[in-house]
Amino acid sequence: MEDILEVCHRVYTEDEVLVCMDETGKRQVKETRIPSPSKAGSPEKFDYEYERNGVGNLFMLSAPLEGWRHVKVTDRHTRQDWAQSIKESVDERHPGKKIVLVMDNLNTHKPGSLYATFEPAEARRIAERPEIHYTPKHGSRQDMAEIETGVSSRQCLNRRIPDQETLRTEIAAWQEQRNQEAAVVNWRFTTDDARVKLKSLYPSIQR
């Protein structure tokens, strides 16, 4: 756990970038009745009934010290989807930089997923770029990408979204606005805080 906190507080050079990753899902629902339009003193009204229309998966990639984030919407959250997200970070979003990657310890979040997706030489090339740090079990809230996920949930995804095309359009507009504002994360969670608040995550050593 201390390792993750030290990573978040590290001083980074121009050739390094801290990237945090989080995954979440968004249920897509269609309206079964036309909503009542808003009027003076009365907001738009929606019927409680709806039609399920699948679930979209969102990979949140955030460079919290630079005020940058990117959300990739996929149909699923397979090993291949994760591997493609990492490749895009390496080749398109942070070319030539050392990527210090913080994420939770899901079974798909492993270098082996790269080898399950790409040819061995390509998988090795991609795997050599990130310096991976996993959050401890039950301690994923130390991942600053979860803060961005929470912001997106409150500002963009807190309503019914009918399909994945709309989901992509809405989240892209939110992402562009946040990036233009260069909104950063003011990370104040110190090692001393962790020892108090997350005491249950530390191993108990008895003499």
Q: How confident is the model at residue 8 (pLDDT cuts 50, 70, 90)?
A: confident
62, part of any domain: yes
Q: What is the pLDDT of residues 128-145, one digit of tens each?
A: 999 999 988 766 666 789
Residue 132 lies in a domain: yes
Residue 36 inside a domain? The answer is: no
What is the pLDDT, as a whole number, of residue 82?
97
Parent domain of 84: 2-29+47-194
13, part of any domain:
yes
For the entire predicted model, the pTM comes to 0.80
β-partners of residue 16 are 98
What is the CATH number for 179?
A: 3.30.420.10
Residue 204 in domain: no
Can you give the pLDDT at residue 100?
A: 95
pLDDT band at 201 (very low <50, low <70, confident <90, very high): low
3-state SS of 58-89 is EEEEEECCCCEEEEEEECCCCHHHHHHHHHHH
Residue 183 belongs to a domain: yes
| Number of domains observed in the structure of the chain | 1
Range with lowest mean pLDDT among 46-50, 74-78, 86-90, 119-123: 46-50
The average pLDDT across 166-183 equals 95
- The per-residue pLDDT of the chain, averaged, comes to 86
Q: Residue 35: inside a domain, yes or no? A: no
Q: Is the model's pLDDT at 207 over the cut of 60? A: no
Asked whether residue 46 carries a pLDDT value surpassing 70, the answer given is: no
Percent of the chain with pLDDT over 70: 80
* CA–CA distance, 186 with 194 (Å, rounded to integer): 16
User: Does residue 37 belong to any structural domain of this protein?
Assistant: no
Instruction: Decide if pLDDT at 127 tops 80.
Output: yes
